Amino acid sequence: MKEHLIVRELLPLASADMLETDQEHLVQQHLLHCPECRAEYSQWNGIAGALKAIPIPQAPQRLVIQTRRLLYSTVSARKHQASKVGLSLLVIFSWMVAFMTLGFVRMLDVPLTRWLDVSSTTLWVVYIGISWFATALAAGILGKRYQQEGRTI
């Protein structure tokens, strides 16, 4: 009796070919022995066949084009906004790192100039050069990644 109730619930899905293999096997085995379920399955097959025969309405081409344009512009605007926020955060982070390392370099200025046997000006020029190089490298990597993803800033 329990199998009968289970199969009865599966009949609409079976008529639409939406069952998994084991469920389909269960339904087919039950239909061999149950005339009541066979009759109901036949009715569901008729309904499914009639539904498949109904033509699928198509949206007007103009509406499809307008909808695609609207979606594309909305998604593009959001991506552009996210890019601006991301780049702004990157700039803020770079300034924070620069100011933090600036204090560190000031603290080590005299010992480093003595240890490396260079002038203080040379040390600062190297520090600024390395900072700019690291920033340019990060910007280049970010730009390359954006280019590979097909995005623009």
Predicted pLDDT of residue 17: 85
Burial of 11 (0-12, 13-18, 19+ CB in 10 A): buried
Q: Distances from the Cα of 21 to the Cαs of 4, 11, 43, 45, in angstroms?
A: 18, 14, 22, 18
**Using one digit for the tens of pLDDT, what is the confidence trace for 10-59?**
888 888 888 888 988 888 998 888 899 899 889 988 888 888 888 888 88
Give the whole-angstrom CA distance, residue 110 versus residue 128: 17
Predicted pLDDT of residue 1: 67
**The model's pTM:** 0.40
Give the whole-angstrom CA distance, residue 73 versus residue 81: 12
Mean pLDDT of the chain: 80
Give the whole-angstrom CA distance, residue 78 versus residue 99: 32
**Using one digit for the tens of pLDDT, what is the confidence trace for 48-106?**
888 888 888 888 889 888 888 888 777 776 766 666 677 677 777 777 777 777 777 77
